[in-house]
């Protein structure tokens, strides 16, 4: 076959082949046929028309070949080719069927973008009853929500998901008491039994927090000490870069109740306190306040103390009497620090065995941190880099900003956080209360790492919340939580996605095939 019949035959085969391939791709990918039916049909009709045209134009030659022995040989080869093609299609069909029936996901992204966080997986693993998730979202906005919730459904058979378009089923809004203002661009109602939480910010952190609130029984209360210049957890100051508004909210997301405590007014730590946080005190405490803190520890309390450099109060001496020495220094690290700012070092390594830090992999970030050393019974949790040191000549650092490591400095890696059982002197000590849970104390040489500015940097949030979990004794809640920003992603609408898919899978490959046919035909029939 030569000339135009050969060209029409080759183009016709391309059209029919791409019609069949497009049909199989759409079928096995689970996408609807409606949007691609026109493309598939056009290819099939045009392909068949070209094949028929080729046959008509070359009818005489075809009839002559059919009556010769060459036709029988071509028939055998053609039959073999057809059978081989059918077998290949059958194998592809079986693979598609198995892939549709038996699901297995792989996440090869560097940041684990398509994998749920450790906290989410722990919550799902601990479910002893079904979670009903109702996603009320329009079809236009449904794709990212479906992508998120399907991860939960895949990870646990107890996570049941139903998708509904609120425009098509407005009765659901009335049934569950959802107002149009709450709905926004979408809402997920997470329910366990008769209890439910509405999630309007549709990301992993909020969905997992909703399940935590529904599954964690009993309210744990965390108090923040105030009155000595500590970081604010409410009011205008809580929203500033130095505030602790986000830290308090992170604890509320763990289903903890957060309260403030003016110890000078109450004279004692409330009996319902499961943990007490002293976040960056700068002014001295009264004797009665320090005595109240010691009495709280003696009765199996848990205290998180974050004391910044250059703070020299009686509370620092109190910590020393409990077995924790705060260095009169500032850690300098010219190698492993934020953008080369030597006084913003990274927490480069952790104790791999302590419950607070054993799951942490990413570094943590500190801003002007002092060294912390614990006596027997304490574990050093976080260390700065190998080339860091604790600079003790603060006067020279403040006046000239030029420092160098010398024999009086603390050599790196410098411990900047410790956790353990404090040594309590006197008749109120832990030894006199053996029937109670032992007191717990965690001390950091910096409070800024949990401030609004730094809380969501690296592992800071996990380090802070895990510490509170450990103080309360809620060890099962210690985990790696969803990051605020899992990955940089380019969001496409459904129409944009279909356009890119069609161009990459159908249009461009077929255009290349058609160009190849014309190239082949032009070489066989060069212009003279």
Any domain includes 426: yes
Q: What is the pLDDT of residues 90-143, one digit of tens each?
A: 787 777 667 666 666 666 555 555 678 887 888 888 888 999 999 998 888 888
CA angle 294, 296, 300 (to 5 degrees): 110
Same domain as 273, residue 194: no
Mean pLDDT of all residues in 475-489: 57
Instruction: Please answer whether residues 401 and 407 qualify as being in contact, where contact means their C-beta atoms are separated by less than 8 angstroms.
Output: no
Instruction: List helix spans (H) across 333-487.
Output: 394-399, 460-472
Are the C-beta atoms of residues 143 and 114 closer than 8 Å to each other?
no
292 and 191 fall within a common domain: no
This prediction has a pTM of: 0.65
75-84, 289-298, 463-472: lowest mean pLDDT where? 75-84
Position 489 scores a pLDDT of: 45
pLDDT tens figures, 4-52: 777 777 788 888 888 887 777 776 665 555 667 777 888 888 888 887 8
Helices (H), 58-68: 59-66
Regarding predicted confidence, which is higher, 179 or 315?
315
Residue ending a domain, choose from 172, 205, 238 = 205
pLDDT over threshold 50, residue 310? yes
> What's the pLDDT score for residue 434?
44
CA distance 479 to 123: 10
Average pLDDT, the chain: 83
Helix (H) or strand (E) holding 38: helix 37-57
Q: Write down the pLDDT at residue 70.
A: 59
| Displacement of CA 16 from its chain's centroid (Å) | 45
* Same-domain pairing of 343 and 460: yes
- Residue 84 domain-assigned? yes
Domain CATH code at residue 138:
3.40.30.10
**Whether 348 and 249 share a structural domain:** yes
Would you place residue 238 in the very low, low, confident or very high pLDDT band (cuts 50, 70, 90)? very high
Share of the chain above pLDDT 90, in %: 42
Residues 261 and 368 in one domain: yes
Model confidence band, residue 285 (pLDDT cutoffs 50, 70, 90)? very high
The rounded distance, in Å, linking the Cα atoms of 275 and 253 is 16
Whether residue 458 is predicted with pLDDT greater than 80 in this model: the reply is yes
pLDDT-derived band at 503, boundaries 50, 70, 90: confident
Of 171, 205, 239, the position where a domain reaches its end is 205
Residue 167 shares a structural domain with residue 258: no
pLDDT for 484 beyond 60: no
| 235 compared with 519, residue with greater pLDDT | 235
What percentage of the chain carries pLDDT values higher than 70?
81
Q: Is residue 431 part of a domain?
A: yes
Helices (H) and strands (E) in the chain, counts: 17, 19
Phi, psi of 119 (to 5 degrees): -65, -45
165 with 283, same domain: the answer is no
Residues 331, 472 share a domain: yes
pLDDT at 118: 81
Would 331 be classed as within a structural domain? yes
C-beta of residue 304 within 8 angstroms of C-beta of residue 467: yes
Domain count, the chain: 3
**Closest to 391 measured CA to CA, from 375, 358, 368, 422:** 368
Of 386 and 35, the one with more pLDDT: 386
pLDDT attached to residue 318: 95
Average pLDDT score over residue span 311-325: 95
Question: What pLDDT does 68 receive?
Answer: 63
CATH number at 283 reads 3.40.50.880
Residue 112 is assigned to a structural domain of this protein: no
266-278 tens-digit pLDDT? 999 999 999 999 9
Domain extent, residue 68, equals 3-104+505-524
**Cβ(160)–Cβ(130) below 8 Å:** yes
Query: Cβ(320)–Cβ(457) under 8 Å?
Result: no
Mean pLDDT of 360-365: 92
| Whether residue 157 sits in one domain with residue 190 | yes
Is 110 within the bounds of a domain? no
pLDDT surpassing 50 at residue 486: no
Residues 140 and 184 in one domain: yes
Q: Are residues 328 and 413 in the same domain?
A: yes
Q: Which residues contact 405 (CB under 8 A, 6 or more apart)?
A: 332, 389, 391, 411
Q: What is the mean pLDDT of residues 68-80?
A: 60
């Amino acid at each position: 076959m030569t000339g135009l019949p050969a060209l029409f035959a080759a183009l016709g085969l391309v059209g029919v082949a791409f019609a069949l391939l497009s049909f199989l791709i759409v079928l096995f990918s689970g996408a609807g046929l409606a949007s691609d039916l026109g493309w598939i049909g056009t290819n099939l009709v045009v392909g068949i028309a070209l094949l028929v045209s080729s046959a008509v134009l070359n009818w005489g030659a075809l009839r002559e070949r059919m009556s010769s022995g060459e036709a029988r040989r071509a028939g055998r080869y053609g039959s073999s080719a057809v059978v081989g093609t059918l077998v290949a299609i059958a194998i592809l069909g079986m693979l598609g069927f198995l892939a549709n029936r038996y699901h297995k996901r792989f996440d090869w992204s560097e940041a684990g973008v398509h994998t749920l966080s450790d906290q989410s997986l722990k919550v799902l693993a601990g479910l002893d009853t079904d979670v009903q998730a109702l996603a009320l979202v329009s079809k236009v906005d449904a794709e990212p929500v479906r992508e998120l919730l399907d991860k939960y459904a895949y990870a646990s058979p107890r996570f049941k998901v139903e998708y509904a378009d609120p425009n098509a089923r407005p009765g659901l809004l009335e049934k569950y008491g959802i107002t149009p203002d709450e709905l926004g661009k979408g809402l997920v109602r997470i329910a366990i039994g008769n209890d439910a939480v509405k999630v309007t910010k549709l990301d992993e952190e909020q969905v997992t927090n909703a399940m935590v609130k529904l599954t964690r029984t009993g309210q744990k209360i965390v108090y923040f000490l105030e009155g000595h210049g500590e970081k604010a957890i409410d009011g205008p100051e809580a929203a500033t870069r130095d505030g602790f508004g986000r830290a308090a909210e992170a604890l509320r997301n763990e289903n903890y109740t957060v309260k403030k405590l003016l110890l000078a007014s109450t004279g004692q730590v409330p009996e319902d306190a499961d943990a007490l946080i002293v976040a960056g005190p700068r002014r001295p405490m009264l004797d009665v306040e320090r005595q109240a803190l010691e009495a709280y520890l003696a009765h199996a309390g848990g205290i998180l103390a974050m004391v910044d450099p250059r703070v020299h109060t009686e509370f620092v001496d109190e910590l020393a009497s409990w077995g924790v020495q705060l260095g009169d220094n500032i850690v300098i690290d010219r190698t492993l620090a934020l953008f080369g700012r030597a006084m913003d070092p990274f927490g480069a390594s952790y104790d791999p065995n302590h419950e607070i830090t054993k799951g942490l992999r990413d570094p943590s970030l500190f801003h002007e941190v002092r060294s912390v050393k614990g006596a027997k019974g304490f574990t050093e949790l976080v260390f700065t880099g190998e080339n860091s040191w604790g600079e003790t000549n603060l006067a020279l650092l403040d006046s000239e900003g030029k420092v160098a490591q010398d024999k009086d400095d603390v050599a790196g890696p410098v411990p900047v956080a410790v956790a353990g059982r404090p040594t309590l002197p006197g008749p109120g000590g832990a030894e006199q209360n053996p029937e109670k849970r032992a007191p717990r104390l965690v001390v950091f040489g910096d409070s800024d790492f949990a401030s609004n500015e730094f809380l969501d940097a690296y592992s800071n949030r996990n380090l802070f919340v895990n510490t509170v979990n450990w103080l309360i004794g809620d060890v099962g809640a210690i985990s790696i939580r969803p990051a605020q920003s899992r990955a940089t992603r380019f969001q496409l609408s459904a129409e944009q996605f279909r356009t890119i898919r069609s161009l990459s899978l159908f249009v461009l490959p077929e255009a290349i095939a058609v160009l190849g046919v014309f190239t082949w035909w032009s070489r066989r029939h060069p212009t003279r």
